[in-house]
Structure 1
Amino acid sequence: MSYKIIVDSCGELSPEMKASGYFATASLSIDVDDYHVIDDETFNQKEFLEKVAASPNCPKSSCPSPDTYMEKYHCDAAHVYAVTLSAELSGSYNSAVLGVELYKEEYGEKKIHVFNSKSASIGETLIAMKIAECEDKGMTFEEVIDTVETYIEDQRTYFLLESLEALRKNGRLTGLKAMVATALSIKPVMGATPEGTICQLGQARGMKKALVKMADEIAAHEEHAEDKILAISHCNCPARAEELKKLLLARLQPKDVIILDTAGISSLYASDGGVIAVI
């Protein structure tokens, strides 16, 4: 195998990506009171959401260790890439970088590069797909890195959640102004800054209007959509994801659209009913 792409488990892998053999997952873990979850193929979203709903405490996540990444890098592939959720939101990126150093000490030199997605969830998925596209075109290792880093800079992430509590309680909303009262059914449309932190882009009363606001926000900032893939992930709300797709296709003409269910970490932070869109 000429290349391998390791995506931390905040990024969803499609069935096709899993079957290809080119992609692997570095699993984070989650604790809800005494309920411990490894975010891998055993993750049960329904059971997890029930545990979260029943607990007065906020779930906690832990990133993969540097040793975990080191062992993932130890493979037959000549080129190895890791894609992690935003370094501003998790220690996963630092673990992946430390894993490179551990690998070199243990096994010697190898072409390994860690991409800070500056995003999360389906944003990581798109980056992993871009790496594979570049490799399949026969680009050199250095050309792949340059092309994908430019792609990351151009990528935009948006999300709309029923509740921001999981993000707030885990300190992921640091620096944001106080959120509007959820009792008023005000739904903030959120996004990622170029640095990979979270920002508020707009708001609307009720989820239906907020989805329209989100679609408007995406369309207003998107150029050359015809060259890009639109990716949507959702936590237990396929109809909402389809509605967002419909709203966006009325405003944009992307070259393709993919919709995936959130895995464990994305389910933790998106919470029941959350949708994430990246283009």
Structure 2
Amino acid sequence: MGVRIVADSGCDLLELQDTTKDLTYIRVPLTLQIGNQLFIDDEGMVIDDMLELLEATKVAATSACPSPDAYMEAFKGADDIFVVTITGGLSGSQNSAQLAKTIYSEEHPDVNIHVIDSLSAGGEMDLLVLKLQELISSGLSFDEVVDAITAYQQKTKLLFVLAKVDNLVKNGRLNKVLGKVVGLLNIRMVGEASPEGKLELLQKVKGQKKSISASYQEMVKAGYAGGRVLIAHCRNFSICEQLKALICTQYPEADIHIVPTSGLCSFYAEEGGILMGYEIG
């Protein structure tokens, strides 16, 4: 029945290239509630519509994690299953996946399931999923893949740049005064995912140009040395191209991928934001 990678929609990859009948990929959606309208973060979601409604609404919008049943449905038909969830520090998706693993394993004791808390979102989750695909395709056993992806996760980081923070303020995740400063003074917030999987502010800079320089500085400080980079952006391709060009001046052979953010990541990063995963060491 083969091997399956399951990710929640904190991952931006709607599909994986070059999969085979022995390796499949399923993305389990979170849901977004804005006023009375519900958005399911799957391939049918129109992200532009969601963002327009999000900007227009004055009330707090919320996200909801997949149920254990949704995960168990995604497990069906596979022998070896690797699950990657958005950070358990900000979402219940990790708990749902772990509960699904417990229940499913009791009913299917011959199925192997490994659940990974990415402690992150967006680009870093994407890197973990792509690495899983590489490891599985290389013919490693289930246990060997578990060991290798665990070691790899210690060498990945997430860096974010936010141009708008209205939704974070509405949800009480950011101080209102700071939120107004970001909006009025063209401030960009540059930060990272902490070791505990929380969003941690590193710098506040004015304008996109300075945010690109600050981002690269933080990457180098964290140990970036030319490894793979995956930049997930919310309607801001220009910052990705400029950041890519800056990285390539020092590391011309760097493997850099650019993708649009998922519905969930667009919901939190908002217009102009990026969630960039990169390898260190």
Tell me the TM-score normalized by structure 1: 0.90
Please give the alpha-carbon distance, in whole angstroms, between the structure 2 residues aligned to 1:217 and 1:143: 32
1:70 corresponds to: 72
Shift of 1:230: 0.6
**1:1-279 residue pairs with structure 2 within 5 A?**
1-13=1-13, 15-17=15-17, 22-75=24-77, 77-172=78-173, 181-182=181-182, 183-225=184-226, 228-253=227-252, 255-279=254-278
Please give the alpha-carbon distance, in whole angstroms, between the structure 2 residues aligned to 1:48 and 1:160: 20
Q: 1:99 to 1:166 in 2, by over 3 A?
A: same
- Higher deviation after alignment, 28-37 or 50-59: 50-59
Could you list the runs of 4 or more consecutive aligned residues of structure 1 that deviate by over 6 angstroms after TM superposition?
A: 177-180
Partner amino acid, structure 1, of 2:64: S
- Contact 1:118/1:152 (<8 A) preserved: no
Partner amino acid, structure 2, of 1:205: K
- Contact 2:66/2:96 (<8 A) preserved: yes
Please give the alpha-carbon distance, in whole angstroms, between the structure 2 residues aligned to 1:73 and 1:147: 22
SS in 2 for 1:199: strand
Please give the alpha-carbon distance, in whole angstroms, between the structure 1 residues aligned to 2:44 and 2:18: 14
Please give the alpha-carbon distance, in whole angstroms, between the structure 2 residues aligned to 1:251 and 1:181: 33
C-alpha offsets along residues 45-75 of structure 1, whole Å, 9 cap, x if unaligned? 1111111111112321000001111111111
Please give the alpha-carbon distance, in whole angstroms, between the structure 2 residues aligned to 1:249 and 1:180: 35
Please give the alpha-carbon distance, in whole angstroms, between the structure 2 residues aligned to 1:27 and 1:43: 10
Q: 1:29 to 1:14 in 2, by over 3 A?
A: closer
Shift of 1:264: 0.7
Please give the alpha-carbon distance, in whole angstroms, between the structure 1 residues aligned to 2:2 and 2:196: 31
Please give the alpha-carbon distance, in whole angstroms, between the structure 2 residues aligned to 1:274 and 1:263: 12
Q: 1:254 to 1:102 in 2, by over 3 A?
A: farther
- Contact 1:89/1:172 (<8 A) preserved: no
Partner amino acid, structure 2, of 1:230: V
Partner amino acid, structure 2, of 1:232: I
SS in 2 for 1:90: coil
C-alpha offsets along residues 4-52 of structure 1, whole Å, 9 cap, x if unaligned? 0001011011554497562110110001101111000111111111111
Q: 1:255 to 1:240 in 2, by over 3 A?
A: closer
Structure 1 runs not aligned, ≥5 long = none
- Contact 2:157/2:193 (<8 A) preserved: yes
C-alpha offsets along residues 143-183 of structure 1, whole Å, 9 cap, x if unaligned? 11111112112211001011223234435569xx9678223
Please give the alpha-carbon distance, in whole angstroms, between the structure 1 residues aligned to 2:26 and 2:88: 20
- Contact 1:28/1:64 (<8 A) preserved: yes
Shift of 1:248: 2.0
Q: 1:153 to 1:166 in 2, by over 3 A?
A: farther
- Contact 2:87/2:94 (<8 A) preserved: yes
Taking only aligned residues, the RMSD between alpha carbons, in angstroms, comes to 2.2
Shift of 1:253: 4.5
Tell me the TM-score normalized by structure 2: 0.90
